[in-house]
Structure 1
Amino acid sequence: MTAPLLICEGLSRSFGGVKAVAGVSLSLTAGMVTALVGPNGAGKTTCFNLITGNLRADAGKAMLRGQSIMGLKPHQVARQGVARSFQDLRLFTHMSVRDNVLAATETSAWFWQPGGAAARRAREAATEEALARTGLTALAEARAMDLAYAERKFLSMARILAARADIWLLDEPASGLDLSSRRRFGELLKEARRQGVAICLIEHNLDVVTELADRIAFLDQGKVLAEGEPEAILRDPKLAAIYFGDREDAA
């Protein structure tokens, strides 16, 4: 068995009296897609925020390649090879598509980047490759704000591709996509999995989960209720009742 790239143990976070995440343990392995599934408010996005440093955990730990990343800031976690997408995309809307992607390859906040001309050419090559893989080459000079919704989704994915991270945390990446776009998205993830990327996605479309996920972690009220292969998890009547809001049937 390949050792997991990322191991989380006992992650917890409360907001006032609400336990948003309560002792979540999770591992992400190279070449595998893990889906976080559960009803709204289950704590899925909060888990991502704890891993990436957008929120501080009250308890627990996150180990990346055997080293703790707890307490690191989001940009520091990103530079360790953890790429993340958001439900609201968070693009630089007034910048061009190409510049949005190029920005994801830069390793410093300074206008001038380290590494000289060779490093600049490598960043530009990564940008052009990401644009090609997401079908955005022809739109490279367009402003992000002028893209259609699906194109913005793929721009978000292009930024992740260009960063060449080996762990992807994707928050509802297929939401709002038509069938053709979902298929393109699925091919991107399958190719990344073949290349050894560890992927974790939050997704409410169970067809997408069934097609792409190797395993599922089912969350409810901040806790992992079950983990396993998609078929077993999605066929569990108690979990289905929780997911669709019928908690009396789940009792």
Structure 2
Amino acid sequence: MADIPLSVRGLDKHFGGLAAVQNVDLDLRPGVTTALVGPNGAGKTTVFNLITGNIPADAGDVLLDGASVRGLQPYQIARRGVARSFQDLRLFGRMSVRDNVLAALEPAPWLWQPGGGGARRARAKAVETALERTGLTAQADARAMDLAYAERKFLSLARILATGARIWLLDEPASGLDPNSRARFVALVRQAVSEGVTICLIEHNLDIVTELADRIAFLDRGAKLAEGEPQEILGDPQLISIYFGEPR
């Protein structure tokens, strides 16, 4: 397990009589991009919520570097190097772009942060580097709410970049992007992977999946039906018929 930074074992979650996630196993490896693919309602975002502690699992475990994090709070899991994006972005609309990124690095909710001037300068440098890599330097002083949609998507990625997280969970990060922005996103993800970041993404655009994913885990009705290389999964006619909602 030493070479598997994040591992999911037998993960299970029910909401009343609905089996949202059923006995899911998943290994996320360093420098590998894994895509969670499946029709709407397959349980993909719920898997992310279970990994990050946003909702408690009914059964199973989540292991970081072989140690269980089940039952920890989301902030505790985040501080262990797991960062995620959300479909609704969750930006601070009236705060500047720079302050949105800086907020992701503040270790405490106090006006005066611990660590002194050295820590403050390190946080500021991380923010500027993240803004540069996401192409947002020129918008650093703009309010988040005034950004174009694509730039807000990149702001959510800048917050992840600045934290230095080694595991990224990205929930539909390329949805709604124009072709140029999509190319920027692909380049950003590829650079992160080349630096050893482990990435798992939920994405409905199969072109993006084909372009970025090294592995695909296919979910339907909360269960993992298959896992393998993209050409294997996307070349399976039964899985593709499930994905497009064709009668079974």
TM norm. shorter chain > 0.5: yes
State the match for 1:214 in structure 2. 214
State the match for 1:103 in structure 2. 103
CA contact (8 A) 2:13 2:19 kept: yes
Q: What's the CA shift for 1:2?
A: 7.0
State the match for 2:163 in structure 1. 163
Name the count of aligned residue pairs: 248
- Aligned CA-pair RMSD: 1.0
Q: Following the alignment from structure 1 to structure 2, what is the Cα–Cα distance between the partners of residues 2 and 237?
A: 36
State the match for 2:42 in structure 1. 42
Q: Following the alignment from structure 2 to structure 1, what is the Cα–Cα distance between the partners of residues 160 and 89?
A: 12
Secondary structure of the corresponding residue to residue 247 of structure 1 = coil
Q: Following the alignment from structure 2 to structure 1, what is the Cα–Cα distance between the partners of residues 228 and 19?
A: 24
Pair 2,195 (structure 1): closer, same or farther in 2 beyond 3 Å? farther
State the match for 1:227 in structure 2. 227
Deviations 1:153-209 (A, max 9, x none): 000000000011000000000000011100000000000000000000000000000
Percent of aligned positions with the same letter in both sequences? 68
**Equivalent residue letter for 2:37:** V
CA contact (8 A) 2:22 2:223 kept: yes
State the match for 2:74 in structure 1. 74
The answer to whether 1:64 aligns with 2:81 is: no
CA contact (8 A) 1:2 1:29 kept: no
Q: What's the CA shift for 1:247?
A: 3.2
Secondary structure of the corresponding residue to residue 111 of structure 2 = coil
Q: What's the CA shift for 1:113?
A: 1.6
Deviations 1:1-40 (A, max 9, x none): 9711001000000001000000011111110000000000
**Equivalent residue letter for 1:88:** D
State the match for 1:179 in structure 2. 179
Q: Following the alignment from structure 2 to structure 1, what is the Cα–Cα distance between the partners of residues 13 and 122?
A: 39
Secondary structure of the corresponding residue to residue 88 of structure 1 = coil
Q: What's the CA shift for 1:111?
A: 2.2
Pairing 1:1-251 to 2, within 5 Å after superposition: 3-248=3-248
Q: Following the alignment from structure 2 to structure 1, what is the Cα–Cα distance between the partners of residues 208 and 246?
A: 23
Q: What's the CA shift for 1:109?
A: 2.2
Q: Following the alignment from structure 2 to structure 1, what is the Cα–Cα distance between the partners of residues 110 and 216?
A: 40
**Deviation larger for 194-203 or 105-114:** 105-114
Secondary structure of the corresponding residue to residue 57 of structure 2 = coil
Question: What TM-score, normalized by structure 1, do the two folds share?
Answer: 0.97
Secondary structure of the corresponding residue to residue 200 of structure 2 = strand
Q: Following the alignment from structure 1 to structure 2, what is the Cα–Cα distance between the partners of residues 247 and 18?
A: 21
Secondary structure of the corresponding residue to residue 104 of structure 2 = helix
CA contact (8 A) 1:79 1:107 kept: no
Deviations 1:125-164 (A, max 9, x none): 0000000001100000000000000000000000000011
CA contact (8 A) 2:6 2:63 kept: yes
Secondary structure of the corresponding residue to residue 117 of structure 2 = helix
Secondary structure of the corresponding residue to residue 13 of structure 2 = strand
Question: What TM-score, normalized by structure 2, do the two folds share?
Answer: 0.98
**Equivalent residue letter for 1:111:** L
Consecutive unaligned residues of structure 1, counting only runs of 5 or more, are none
**Equivalent residue letter for 2:141:** E
Consecutive unaligned residues of structure 2, counting only runs of 5 or more, are none
**Equivalent residue letter for 1:225:** L
Q: What's the CA shift for 1:106?
A: 1.5
